Amino acid sequence: MGTIITRNQGDKTYYVYQETYREKINKKDFGKTRGSGKSRVCTRATYLGTAEKILKCVKEKRAPVKVKTRNFGLIAAAYQTAFEIELPQILMKHINGKRFETNLWIYFFVTIVNRLDHATSKEKMSGWLKKTILPELMNIKPNNFTGKNFWYATDGIISEKELQKRRKKEKIESDPFACIDDTIFTAIETELFYRIDQLMTLSPSVICYDTTNFYTYIEEPKSSKLANTCHSKDSKNYLRHIGLLMAVEKSFGIPLISRIYRANCHGSKLFSLILADLIISLKKLCGSESDLVLVLDKGNNSKENFSNMVGKINWVGALVPSHHEDLIGIELDKYHGVWKDRCYYRCKKNVMGMECVIVLTFNAATKRKKIHSLRRGIEKLKYEVIKKWESYKKTPKFITQGINTMKKKSRYGKCIKISIHDRKLHFEENKKEIKEREKRFGKSLIFSNMLEAETGYLIDTYNEKNIIEDDFHLLKDITIIRFRPIRHWTDSKIRAYVFCCVVSMILMRVMQWMTEQAGYKMSINVLKDELTDIQEVVMIYSSTEAERRITERSAVQKKLWEIFKLEEIEKKLLLHH
């Protein structure tokens, strides 16, 4: 708070607005905690003039010469949250060095905030910075943030030259991670997880593990060993993809480990390589005597993987229904009970050489949805076949190779038979195949090595894996992180980019948690929209006079203003003015 004081000169009285504030002696220091750097008390005085002049200014309506707006709400909230979880301090600790008088960790921090606010290419980063409050908050020069500088900043942490040397010495064909050194990024993620655990009280004793892939536009000749064609999660099989694995805690989806890999590597092989690191990290976090549970999808199933987990960690996983027709064929009236919206049948069975408990569940609503999707898929395939048939200039006498290929590639191809009668297409549904599929709809097989665990616990624990699916959706959402398409071409830069995207997602998760703690439960999309609407308006009256204002806020935005303590940022910006 400032005060207005009087000053006398001769027989005239003048008024001055005076305020005091603290500033760091070393401009590069951040934070208010002990050890964050020395500060000093400064005084700023603004001459107001005589009483008559002040009265004239109050009565006089002035029109600004120029009006500028800058992104305030989301940037300020992300900045405050980052300091709450000590992200700048952790980055500072692990990422050393400078480029053009800018600390290398700041290049990474700016990229993390950029993915949240308005994901741009590195070449457009300086233009984006100029439209935000970040340069003033961090005392940085936007023009330094060019694509070239980002490249060198990243290369200082994970060198492309060193990576190529390592690949020449080692056999990379058998390494799904293509010899990429994750040491620094893994250390940052681990330390960040510990800090967030202290703040949010996470549930690291239950970890959900899964993989996904993201498409790129990398074409031959390519320098990336990671980018490969594979079964695309986005149905873009013709493009090269990068794989991403994550292990997240069950409550809020905060990643403990994230790594990129060759997208054409099978999930079960990948899991066997990451398992040891995952168990070590969990034991350090929870204690060596803790009962840890790993939730897996069926794509990671292999006898070797589960043998390696015996005595080290418990698991809850899923089995492929078609591999256990004896269980899938059990009638509903023989099921043992009901848990929430599911009927279940429980038994013990030898799976991959070890005794496990198996829970067969059935959900009627899921079955109805699956049947609807099946009918819709069959009709869509018929429509595409007819469209292909009508595209031929001359009506074929037989089913063409193009139609046979279309039918073979479709997941619904086995559900229909195509023939020609009087040079017209004729469709016949394969009722046996459709009946077999419908028999499995709504049913899932959960299995675990925890033979005495409650059935409800096993069902609920396996369903916790939805949290990691939500994380993948956040990364792929073009309105949130906009992970895809990856527009980097070398593996070292791709790794750095993925790290920034994952940390950006973590930051958004923490922000969502902070609003929930204050009694405002909202989706990340809504939270981002509300904060983005809070803008700073700068009204310029002359070359020496300007006025700052924050746009009018709704009731929800006023609450967010309090939650993220945005008044502190507003005051900090006024001191820079």
pLDDT single digits (tens) 66-78: 888 889 999 999 9
pLDDT score for 94:
94
pLDDT score for 289:
66
Where is mean pLDDT largest: 24-28, 100-104, 572-576?
Answer: 100-104
Whether residue 44 lies inside any domain: the answer is: yes
Please, what is the end-to-end C-alpha distance for the chain in angstroms?
16
pLDDT score for 577:
54
Last residue of a domain, one of 61, 78, 94: 61
pLDDT above 90 covers a percentage of the chain that reads: 45
Task: Give, in order, the Cα–Cα distances in Å from 129 to each of 83, 134, 366, 434.
Answer: 19, 7, 47, 56
Whether residue 383 lies inside any domain: the answer is: yes
Task: Give the type of residue at 387.
Answer: K
Give 496-539 as a DSSP string: HHHHHHHHHHHHHHHHHHHHHHTT----HHHHHHHHHT-EEEEE
Whether residue 92 lies inside any domain: the answer is: no
Whether residue 306 lies inside any domain: the answer is: no
Last residue of a domain, one of 412, 440, 468: 440
Residue 498 confidence (pLDDT) above 90? yes
Last residue of a domain, one of 398, 419, 440: 440
Whether residue 43 lies inside any domain: the answer is: yes
277 or 513, which is more confident: 513
Domain that holds residue 15: 1-61
**SS3 per-residue string spanning 385-409:** HHHHHHCCCCCCCCCCHHHHHHHHH
Whether residue 12 lies inside any domain: the answer is: yes
pLDDT score for 182:
87
pLDDT score for 62:
67
Is the CB of residue 249 less than 8 Å from the CB of residue 256?
yes
CA–CA separation, 51 vs 72, rounded Å?
A: 35
Over residues 438-458, the mean pLDDT reads: 93
pLDDT score for 501:
94
Mean model confidence pLDDT for the chain: 88
Number of domains in the chain: 2
93-104 confidence digits (pLDDT tens): 999 888 878 889
561 or 160, which is more confident: 561
Structure-token match 């297409």, residue found: 425
Instruction: State the alpha helices, DSSP H only, in 85-175.
Output: 87-94, 104-117, 125-130, 134-138, 147-155, 160-169
Whether residue 381 lies inside any domain: the answer is: yes
Where is mean pLDDT largest: 33-37, 106-110, 350-354, 547-551?
Answer: 106-110
17 or 472, which is more confident: 472
383-431 confidence digits (pLDDT tens): 999 999 989 888 888 889 999 999 988 989 999 999 988 888 899 999 9
Among 47-61, 189-203, 446-460, 499-513, the minimum mean pLDDT is found in 47-61
pLDDT above 70 covers a percentage of the chain that reads: 98
pLDDT score for 565:
94
Whether residue 228 lies inside any domain: the answer is: no
Is the CB of residue 474 less than 8 Å from the CB of residue 357?
no
Instruction: Compute the Cα dihedral for 551, 556, 558, 560 and give only its sign.
Output: negative
Length of the chain: 577
Binned at pLDDT 50, 70 and 90, residue 193 comes out as: very high
Binned at pLDDT 50, 70 and 90, residue 83 comes out as: very high
236-253 confidence digits (pLDDT tens): 888 888 999 999 999 899
Residue 576 confidence (pLDDT) above 60? no
pLDDT score for 303:
86
CA–CA separation, 405 vs 402, rounded Å?
A: 5
pLDDT score for 156:
84
User: In terms of C-beta density within 10 A (0-12 exposed, 13-18 middle, 19 or more buried), how is residue 302 classed?
Assistant: middle
No. of helices (H) and no. of strands (E), the chain:
21, 19
Dig out the tokens for 390 from the structure: 């009508």
Q: Give 300's DSSP letter.
A: G
Structure-token match 């990024």, residue found: 185
Residue 304 confidence (pLDDT) above 90? no
